[in-house]
Chain A
Amino acid sequence: MSMFKRSMMVGALAAGVLFAGCVENPNASANRSSGTVALSQDDAYLYAADTDNGLLAVIDTATNAKVAEIKVGASPVRVLVGGDDTIYVANRGDNSVAVIRRGDWQVATRLEVGIEPTGLAMTSDDKQLLVTSSASKESPDFGILTSFETATLQPKFEIPVGPEPRAVAVIAGNRALVSLFKQGELVEVDLAKGELKAGTGTNGIYDRANASRSDTSFGRAFSTFHPRGMSDLIVAPDRNRVFAPVVWAREDAIARAPSSAGGYYSAGGPCNVGAVATAGIVTVDTTTTVTPEVDDLTGCFRSGTNGGEEKDYPASTLAPRTSGTGEAIQGPTVGVVDPTGTWLFVVNRESSNVAVMPANRRSGDDTNYQSSGTSVRSLVHVGAGADGIALTRDGTKAYVYSQFEHRVEMLSATGRGSAAQITNTGTVAQVAQDTLTPELAAGRRLFFDALDTRMSSSLTNVACATCHLEGREDGHVWQFPDGPRQTPALAGRHLLSTAPYHWSGEFSDLGTFNRHTIIERMGGSGLTTSAANQLDRWVDQLPSATTGIKADLAGVVRGKAVFETKAACASCHTGELLTNNAFADVGTLNLNSKNADNGSVMRAGFNVPSLIGVARSAPYLHDGSMTSLEERVFRNDGDRHGVTSSLTSDEKLDLVSYLKSL
């Protein structure tokens, strides 16, 4: 063979190798929806779950006409569409998952799961459906992850995953991540083995977010922040990265600030972003090990770079690009990454908007974290109570469901580059109507609204729901000027019947309590009496967290007897709501040490709380000093909190069983 021929062959071979890499974009299919809306695989149908009405609406996306309405169960909160176009709906209110075949438009079957199912995910091969339930039917102490074979809809495995699990996401390597809602933690699951990955204790989010908390080089104490309310897990198309919406809750002492300055919830957010409870995003690298990528929020160093290299994940706090314009971000609830993996959409319920940001950078022509302190590029207003988003396969439209307004809105883009804007094109479909009375509906909006200046200053932008997550609590202990205060659960506690208010009980009626909380703490201008009534009535009717344990019913009965007699719990926790609305010093009053309780407002100890739904409201006591009911009952020195010293261990266990059944 001549030299020329050899050269030509080598050249042809090189060219072949050169262009062999032109392959199909692997990001073609991805999780395109989250929360209460989803699209069929071909985008022909939009499914919207209305929680109040317990229905799933089927909307033809070509005509925007509602083609079907399916009664799926009580309180549907999440919709998932499988690869074969089967629709799965998690019904939080009746502990089931409804299965619907496309075109049938009726519930084909119901999968029985744990208490309050909230999370759905499908493995990449479409063979396993994963469901997280907030609590097990055996115990409210932990929730469960249940795997179903999609071919047979039979359970494959069910494992405990920790307290209050919320979202589940399938990640690379046949693994899943589960978020623990209140704790802001992640749990990693080996799907092949159906068990938790070994060594997954704490996931490192807290440590990374507070990396400089022990650094005293600047001669000052650092504020520290705990992630709370981890409501969703947003998976990138390559499944190597997950974004978790959180609320950063401040842990150290919170100083008083006048209402004119936003109230004392206003100051001290992470690096002066937001309030004491600030919306955020935790980026998690899941390529091999689960590694949170979080800014150090305690040091307040401008953290757009990492050793000179720009960080390749969004800023860990969510903030609008311009402050003081009435815009805010609060209550991140669900989100989705676009099919290219480039853009992250986060739906914020309390600020009624969708924040759009690059998923893998924080600076560029369109956003600059170093100068603005945010990596959010666009903020689009949507209806109230938004808790679902779905992107079309072609990446040109986003549908958002506004739960409080029962309607689907559509977002689209105009222009490109610096002229690009995302706009809300308006209502696509009105799915249902209010089941609440107008007063209750208005009260709910007030509870969840961080933009209403009657409720919260524009310097603060917090809602009641920012800490009282879904009307319950966030598991956080706040270091308020009047001492440490664990966020009390409101749901099921019948607010109107449990005066006085606050742990200290310094407010004898709801009027003074509202004025103090809304004006002095949240910086709002205050509510009229009628508006305050709307808010209070809505809170009053909230159902408690479901416990409903099946195990040890005999123990519950025995424990009730111990509660009412031998342990003398019922001397204070009495009546239908299990409170005498009086005061008691149970040995936790602290008047002397750092951040002591405010003695001037304490009369005879703390306001006795209702015990309704107590099992799912850990930690316990005003300072959160008891992490479990077992600890509470077994650790009671001097019988300061009930008479437990005379109880046998079995009686104590029975007492715990009873408390968990409430």
Chain B
Amino acid sequence: MPAHARLRVFMSRFLFVICALTGLTAAAQNAADEWVAPPERTVQPGPVAAPFTPAPMQEPSAPAAQPQPVSPGAWPQVSVRQRVPDAPNRVSMFGAPALGQWKRGQSLVLGFPILSLRLSIGVLDQLDVGVGFDSFYGSMNSPKIHAKFELGGNDMVKAAVGLDAGLAFFSQRAAREVRGPRWITGYRNYNLSPGFILSYQGLSPRAARLFLDLRYLLSFDTEPFATDPLNGVPSSVALGHNVLIRGGAEMPLSERTSFVFGLGLDIHGRAADSRVMPSIALGLVTGL
């Protein structure tokens, strides 16, 4: 790779990091990536217009002479900047499409209630695996592993199944927590969430990739406590059954980078948790 190309790649990644940190997601689009080459021809200047001189007033005269044919070389030369057709964005972390074998993907999402960082790699054309880190902004931190298997589809609609598994560390013991991260997220010490993902993307190279992610979150609470006195000793592990619904779009900014926006609704099964909790996510997905 020529030096200038490496420099361009480096600058692209640097810009991505800066943008991710500052939240200026739109800045992640590197224009240099979108144009194949600088224009080779420039626009010739047109003839200079003659100064305007009013015609003298005169009586109508004989008809003017017939126009003479013009040779082709006499036309002014006009140069057009040609755009190469956009390559479609195939890097999806939230939608159904798999990354493809040995392709990588990363995402950083700032949202409520979760801040999420994910790194994925395609181990097969249809199977992505990866690691991630979810945080309720410090008061709950959850390293995770995840996998996604693309079931198939067509050019526009794809389906996949996914599985997330992780353990969560909480800043407070469960018995002390009052409407904290457990109540809000439904997470407990260990969490397993299989799900089904459906996505739709138009044929346009920059068409937004809409996704719908339905998950069942099974939480394993290894520090259950008696929420009410004299209501019995809970078992050593208490299970939580939750449904997570996520919908949104990955909006490509480039061939490999998308802005992601999502809304969701968490339905918690444990009485100790909030019944329903909305969620929102804003972030970036990239395959850089």
Contact = CB atoms under 8 A, between A and B. Distances in A.
Q: Tell whether A pairs with B.
A: yes
Interface of A: 3-4, 7, 11, 14-15, 18-19, 21-25, 28, 310, 312, 338-343, 345, 356, 358-361, 363-366, 377-378, 393-398, 411-413, 415-417, 420, 422
Contact of B233 (A22, A24, A359, A393): A393
B102 to A, nearest CB: 8
B226 interface: yes
B229 A361 contact: no
A343 B223 CA distance: 15
Contacts of B229: 338, 342-343, 345, 356, 377-378, 413, 420, 422
Contacts of B145: 11, 14-15, 18
Contact of B165 (A18, A312, A398): A18
Contact of B226 (A28, A343, A377, A411): A343
Nearest to B147: A11
B220 A340 contact: no
Given A11-B129, A343-B230, 19 more contacts: A11-B147, A15-B165, A18-B166, A24-B236, A25-B236, A28-B236, A312-B176, A338-B230, A341-B225, A342-B225, A363-B178, A364-B178, A378-B229, A394-B232, A395-B233, A413-B228, A413-B229, A422-B229, A422-B230
A313 B178 CA distance: 14
B231 A361 contact: no
8 pairs of A and B residues whose beta carbons are closest in the complex: A25-B236, A413-B230, A395-B233, A420-B228, A343-B229, A342-B225, A340-B226, A364-B178
A11 B230 CA distance: 42
Contact of B220 (A11, A22, A359, A360): A22
Nearest to A365: B178
Interface of B: 102, 121, 123-124, 129, 145, 147, 165-167, 173, 175-176, 178, 189-190, 220, 222, 224-237, 271
Contacts of B190: 18-19, 21-22
10 contacts: A19-B190, A338-B229, A340-B225, A360-B176, A378-B229, A395-B233, A411-B230, A413-B228, A413-B231, A420-B229
Nearest to B178: A364
A417 B227 contact: yes
B222 A22 contact: yes
Nearest to A396: B232
A4 B124 contact: yes
Q: Decide if the interface of chain A is mainly helix, strand, loop or mixed.
A: loop
Nearest to B102: A3
Nearest to A4: B123
A394 B233 contact: yes
Contacts of A15: 145, 165
A417 B225 contact: no
A358 B229 CA distance: 9
Given A18-B165, A416-B227, A420-B231, A23 B271 contact: no
Nearest to A378: B229
B17 to A, nearest CB: 26
A21 B167 contact: yes
A369 to B, nearest CB: 12
B10 to A, nearest CB: 26
Contacts of A11: 129, 145, 147
A14 B129 CA distance: 12
Which of B129, B178, B229, B235: most chain A Cβ within 10 A?
B229
A358 B177 CA distance: 12
Contacts of A19: 190, 220
A573 B231 CA distance: 59
B226 A395 contact: yes
B236 A395 contact: no
Given A340-B234, A422-B230, A360 B167 contact: no
B124 to A, nearest CB: 7
B178 A397 contact: no
A458 B148 CA distance: 68
Contact of A339 (B121, B129, B233): B233
Contacts of A416: 227-228, 231, 271
Contacts of B176: 310, 312, 360-361
Contacts of B225: 340-342
Contacts of A411: 230
